Structure 1
Amino acid sequence: MLNIFSLEDDLFQQGRLERAVAACVQSGQIRYRHFETFGKPDQLLAAIKETGNHQVFFLDIEIRGEEQKGMEVARAIRQRDPHAIIVFVTTHSEFMPVTYRYRVSALDFIDKALPAADYEEAIASVLEHAQANVSRTVSDDAFVIKNDYAHVQVPFADILYFETSSTVHKVILTTKTGSLEFYGKVSEIAKLDDRLYQCHRAFVVNPANVTKLDRASQTVHFETGDSCLVSRLKTKGLIERLEQHG
């Protein structure tokens, strides 16, 4: 199901979007698991716990007098979640070309000046599109983790490693573009895909992205500068995996 987020600092506009989403739910057009509205960018960014095309963001462009703040937030979202659906709800349609410079790949621009019926139809169109595509993977090679608490969907080629979080029952996924924390167990993740390898009780790596194995320090390194531990018992198996990738 969808996770819907809104960044809007005007209370009237917050309510308007919430009513439009509620109308979609009542008509049976969409279902969502989570819907939250934020007035501050840092609050919204802190709330991003998942990745994938089930994540929908409605962003105002002008926040607290900063004309292009929404663009900056969209770029931060895109860095964390390359496959999220981003929609700008704004009075600043003149900024549409600017989104190309920010490279945020917005799905749509919805004008706040639209009459109520047209506004609701525009919101519904976005949500129906998201609902129709939510079960599709982001690519033929997407890696998907789905449980009662998390839905993570990333290109397998972007995965560097998973590690046990300091937060109980949580795992941190590190990719080429950032990191994400979600509920899960490293030992369970290792069983989800044969291309992954559990090199330590606290780490599972994607051998295809390992650039160096340092046996002196028992660590593996990645192109991003990240590294993680390898247990001595798992070293031989990891070497075999690395040789498969040349």
Structure 2
Amino acid sequence: MGGTLMNIILCEDNSRQRKDFEDMITNEINDLDFKIVLSTNNPNKVIKHVEDNLSSNFIYFLDIDLQSDINGIELAKKIRKYDSSGYIIFLTAHAELTLLTFQYKVRAMDYILKGDNHLVRQKIHDCITQICTDISNSRHKKSNIIPIDIGNNLVFFDLDEVLFFETADTEHKIRVHTSSGYSEFYGTLKDIESTLTPSYYKPHRSYLVNTKMIKSIDKENLIIHMNNGETCYVASRYLKGLLQKCLK
């Protein structure tokens, strides 16, 4: 999980339970880039910490039944003013209180019922596992983005949505095709090829094709039909490789 540090905040007013939660969370994040940065019974300390660290990535474990001027749900609502994407997990001994969170629209990730420490431990494990999956998916999505200089603009293309790249009529220019049209930029297919995802294949010296966007292949006439109706070509010597790529 290197590269994405997740800061954990625990707000629980029962000191014994707070220590139990700390131990369970610490055990779960042992091999991750996660750390408990604040463990407190004071919701105002939570708000202050979030205000002072707006660029951080947070996971919040919040006791709903805080014996304070604000309860855990109200605390979550205040948190959302500063952190729209943090993971909020509620802790409560009263299952019926979880319904209140829907009225506050704080987008809770989960609710952990206190009482059975084995179940609590399992729920913490499930939440951390899901967060790790989210981080991994987010990284994958970012890795699919390619920045391309087009005119005076730097345009970010999602490689999953690109149909194909082809050499343009103008020398040293490449044309990138998407479902919404095409754009031209200076470069070579060789330069582009090294930055593409595994779904791309070079079926012809003039094309780099996203095989996920192929609708059909005319093997006799060596024509590739894309999902949007556009066509490009496959050289006969690359036909077998293209077919194998598409069937993987």
- 8 Å contact 2:10–2:60 — kept in the other structure? yes
Give, in angstroms, the shift of residue 125 of structure 1: 1.1
- The code of the aligned residue for 2:82 comes to R
- 8 Å contact 1:2–1:134 — kept in the other structure? no
Give, in angstroms, the shift of residue 135 of structure 1: 4.9
Q: Which runs of 4+ in 1 moved over 3 A?
A: 135-138
* Structure 1 counterpart of 2:11: 7
* Structure 2 counterpart of 1:41: 43
CA offset digits 1:149-203 (Å, max 9, x no partner)? xxxxxxxxxxxxxxxxxxxxxxxxxxxxxxxxxxxxxxxxxxxx979xxxxxxxx
Which whole-Å CA distance do the structure 1 matches of 2:67 and 2:154 have between them? Answer: 48
Query: What's the TM-score once normalised by structure 2's chain length?
Result: 0.50
- 8 Å contact 2:9–2:61 — kept in the other structure? yes
> Is residue 2:62 matched to residue 1:55?
no
Which whole-Å CA distance do the structure 2 matches of 1:110 and 1:136 have between them? Answer: 25
Which whole-Å CA distance do the structure 2 matches of 1:122 and 1:34 have between them? Answer: 17
SS for the counterpart of 2:122 is helix
Which whole-Å CA distance do the structure 1 matches of 2:83 and 2:68 have between them? Answer: 26
Give, in angstroms, the shift of residue 22 of structure 1: 1.8
Which one has a bigger Cα radius of gyration?
2
Identity %: 22
Give, in angstroms, the shift of residue 92 of structure 1: 2.1
SS for the counterpart of 2:18 is helix
Which whole-Å CA distance do the structure 1 matches of 2:62 and 2:36 have between them? Answer: 16
Which whole-Å CA distance do the structure 1 matches of 2:59 and 2:74 have between them? Answer: 17
Unaligned runs of 5+ in 2: 143-152, 156-248
- 8 Å contact 2:87–2:109 — kept in the other structure? yes
Aligned length: 138
- 8 Å contact 1:63–1:70 — kept in the other structure? yes
Which whole-Å CA distance do the structure 2 matches of 1:118 and 1:77 have between them? Answer: 27
CA offset digits 1:23-82 (Å, max 9, x no partner)? 2134x3x33144321111110111011357x4100000111166x711100001112111
- The code of the aligned residue for 2:125 comes to A
Give, in angstroms, the shift of residue 136 of structure 1: 4.8
Unaligned runs of 5+ in 1: 142-192, 196-246
- 8 Å contact 2:89–2:108 — kept in the other structure? yes
SS for the counterpart of 1:105 is coil
Give, in angstroms, the shift of residue 84 of structure 1: 0.7
Which whole-Å CA distance do the structure 2 matches of 1:21 and 1:44 have between them? Answer: 18
CA spacing shift, 1:57–1:106, aligned 2, 3 Å: same
CA offset digits 1:195-234 (Å, max 9, x no partner)? 9xxxxxxxxxxxxxxxxxxxxxxxxxxxxxxxxxxxxxxx
> Is residue 2:24 matched to residue 1:20?
yes
- 8 Å contact 1:51–1:81 — kept in the other structure? no
Which whole-Å CA distance do the structure 2 matches of 1:21 and 1:99 have between them? Answer: 23
Give, in angstroms, the shift of residue 17 of structure 1: 0.7
- The code of the aligned residue for 2:130 comes to H
Query: What's the TM-score once normalised by structure 1's chain length?
Result: 0.50
* Structure 2 counterpart of 1:188: none
Which whole-Å CA distance do the structure 2 matches of 1:31 and 1:126 have between them? Answer: 15
Which whole-Å CA distance do the structure 1 matches of 2:120 and 2:82 have between them? Answer: 29
CA spacing shift, 1:59–1:69, aligned 2, 3 Å: same
CA spacing shift, 1:21–1:70, aligned 2, 3 Å: same
Which whole-Å CA distance do the structure 2 matches of 1:17 and 1:51 have between them? Answer: 25
Q: How does 1:55-204 map to 2 (within 5 A)?
A: 55-64=58-67, 69-114=71-116, 116-137=117-138
- 8 Å contact 2:42–2:68 — kept in the other structure? no
- The code of the aligned residue for 1:75 comes to K
CA spacing shift, 1:34–1:65, aligned 2, 3 Å: closer
